[in-house]
């Protein structure tokens, strides 16, 4: 999707968002491409095309939040761009749940850094139900460690 289409569609998707937040999402897409992070790990020689693919997947994440969390939360998610807290689509639903609890971009970023917000597929949004049931990285590691520990005890 071209940036012009992205701009129009995001304004329609989240009419309560601050329009000045939208360019930050384009900048995030450009930064991803400049860092050689390509959508679905498929390298694209044409930088414009690679950025447009990022805009497609970013929009799909915003759209999923709008469908499952509503206009207000979708607008708040778009506005995170103003806090320099742009997210991968796989992180967006978990971040939306944080926004619904009154958390801000700094708190969301801290949760990403600590592993509380985690995704298995950066490029695809998860459902609200999956986001609500998602365990943190620490919880999954503790469960795995516990499970592996039990397996050893059974053999003794």
> Phi first, then psi: what are they for 38, rounded to 5°?
-105, 150
In the chain, the percentage of residues whose pLDDT exceeds 70 is: 88
**Quick check: 125 and 93 in contact, CB under 8 A?**
yes
Q: Which residue is it, tokens 């943190």?
A: 136
Burial 115-147 (b: 16+ CB within 10 A, else e): ebbbbeebbebbebeebeebeeeeeeeeeeeee
Confidence of residue 62 (pLDDT cuts 50, 70, 90): very high
Predicted pLDDT at 150: 54
Predicted pLDDT at 89: 97
Crossing angle, helix 47-69 and helix 89-100, to 10 degrees?
A: 40
Confidence of residue 44 (pLDDT cuts 50, 70, 90): confident
What is the maximum span of the chain, computed from C-alpha positions, in angstroms? 65
Predicted pLDDT at 144: 61
CA neighbor of 80 nearest in space, from 108, 54, 48, 49: 108
The token pair that represents 39 in the structure block: 């959508």
Statement: residue 25 has pLDDT above 90: yes
Statement: residue 137 has pLDDT above 90: no
Burial environment of residue 71 by CB neighbours within 10 A (0 to 12, 13 to 18, 19 or more): middle
């Amino acid at each position: 999707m071209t940036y012009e289409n992205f701009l129009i569609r995001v304004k329609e998707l989240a009419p309560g968002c601050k329009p000045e937040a939208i360019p930050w999402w384009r900048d995030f897409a450009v930064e991803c491409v400049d860092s050689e992070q390509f959508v679905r790990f498929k390298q694209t020689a044409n930088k414009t095309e690679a950025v447009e693919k990022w805009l497609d997947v970013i929009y799909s994440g915003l759209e999923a939040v709008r469908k499952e969390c509503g206009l207000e939360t979708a607008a708040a998610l778009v506005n995170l761009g103003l806090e320099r807290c742009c997210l991968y689509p796989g992180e967006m639903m978990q971040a939306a749940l944080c926004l619904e609890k009154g958390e801000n971009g700094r708190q969301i970023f801290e949760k990403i850094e600590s592993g509380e917000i985690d995704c298995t597929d950066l490029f695809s949004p998860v459902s609200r139900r999956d986001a609500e049931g998602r365990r943190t990285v620490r919880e999954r590691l503790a469960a795995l460690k516990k499970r592996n520990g039990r397996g050893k005890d059974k053999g003794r």
